[in-house]
Structure 1
């Protein structure tokens, strides 16, 4: 279904994802903010797994707040516990050390997601790839190519968030902003530099290509030689929300984060304009 919002932007919504088609060469992608669970999967999950604590809470709303800048937004509606859209279908690990998988059986803390005897088998994994992973990536690829065709360039910003302390995944407290560019391989240096300057200009702590260098989406779609530049921003949830159920926003802090994300988007758009 296609329609226009109050800003005149084309929007498309399906059960799987939400797409806002903008008028500028930046695409904000949010693969992990979805909270929907199919009933057949939901019934197999443990009670504590139903809290969906590994969700990138509210990141879709943070992205949608940027649409008045003319950018496109794509956001998944289904939980990462169905299938992780930021993993390859081969489920190749992206980081050394503990992680989770394409169709994970554990959460970030290493706790089991499924009731005993209810974990997905190979057929289940393949069905989820076909029903959820493949359609999302088809839309993502199509939107990237639409933007590139129209503007000659596409800047993909992959937005994520995570609890600020997850001892199984990283030591200590995560910096507020974690910029990943696959060690500079997923974007031209000028976009990396502008993003770094924007994210360091405010009140937030910052690291580049630390624990989070960019997941599958950043690494796969970021092809600077083909004028597709991808950057991942992983945000510590303590900067804008309560890190426990019901995962509520801290509204004053959330408003400040929206401003910081919009400043980043504006900076990247300025860099495109400077060199066209």
Structure 2
């Protein structure tokens, strides 16, 4: 099992998918309980939702499930949101605070998973960032995510449809942040927020260094925007997906346009 699936492209935009993988090695799967085996917290169908929207974009997708180890968490285990409910590097509970394991992973288990999954995924992403930046003088990592619109353990009420994260403007140029927020804000029938409950995970915060020519922005989509239901079997709704893809295509096209413009300034 390769920890990362990479499709190199020629655009300055890189699409990262840390949470769409559903592969769980047998020796790890045997320790999940019945709830954990459902893999409920997958970013269901997200790589399919973005497929072909920006044909020249590079994609880097984790093939392993986030219950194996979360590719969008700090490898040190430090919380992204101190003082708020969240899940860890190897989550012990799901987004409903339900236990996932019959036998919880040990510190040794976590160290092995860091070496076998987390580090190789980020090594692949880092390599693509370097390659793309060498081509254009700039690289923009667009980190693709989704989550159920209602998760009381993580947040109150209903999540907006588009949740844009730039760690309060630190991880990308203002032009990129403003353009994405404007497109989402004008999208008919959708709601949006900038740096709300989700300000960007470890990927966005770690790689987003605009002063070095590497920009990062996270998009957390409420799953109600593209799933038939936010319950098993988490089926994609083709009609919802078609409508949403038009907005996502506009976002990616505009990010690419700005990236070429910014790259030309260097």
Per the shorter chain, which TM-score range? Answer: over 0.9
- Residue 211 of structure 2 is aligned to residue 225 of structure 1: yes
Please say if residues 3 and 116 of structure 2, whose CA atoms lie closer than 8 Å, have aligned partners that are also in contact: no
Q: Deviations over 1:60-90 (max 9, x none)?
A: 112323242x111111111000000011111
Alignment of 1:32-181 (within 5 A): 32-68=19-55, 70-95=56-81, 96-115=83-102, 118-181=103-166
TM-score, length basis structure 2: 0.95
Q: Deviations over 1:122-153 (max 9, x none)?
A: 10000000000010010000000110011000
TM-score, length basis structure 1: 0.92
Q: Deviations over 1:6-57 (max 9, x none)?
A: xxxxxxxx63221111111000101001111100111111112111110000
Residues in 2 aligned to 1:17 and 1:97: alpha-carbon distance in whole angstroms: 30
Please say if residues 145 and 221 of structure 2, whose CA atoms lie closer than 8 Å, have aligned partners that are also in contact: yes
Aligned residues between the structures: 260
Please say if residues 92 and 99 of structure 2, whose CA atoms lie closer than 8 Å, have aligned partners that are also in contact: yes
**SS, match of residue 264 in structure 1:** helix
Q: 4+ residue runs of structure 1 moved beyond 4 angstroms? A: none
Residues in 2 aligned to 1:273 and 1:17: alpha-carbon distance in whole angstroms: 27
Residues in 2 aligned to 1:63 and 1:21: alpha-carbon distance in whole angstroms: 15
Question: What value does the CA root-mean-square deviation take over the aligned residues?
Answer: 1.1
- Residue 202 of structure 2 is aligned to residue 190 of structure 1: no
User: Please, which runs of 5 or more residues in structure 2 have no aligned partner?
Assistant: none
Deviates more, 1:200-209 or 1:151-160: 200-209
Please say if residues 158 and 230 of structure 1, whose CA atoms lie closer than 8 Å, have aligned partners that are also in contact: yes
Please say if residues 30 and 160 of structure 1, whose CA atoms lie closer than 8 Å, have aligned partners that are also in contact: yes
Please say if residues 100 and 106 of structure 1, whose CA atoms lie closer than 8 Å, have aligned partners that are also in contact: yes
Higher RCO (CA < 8 A, seq sep 6+): 2
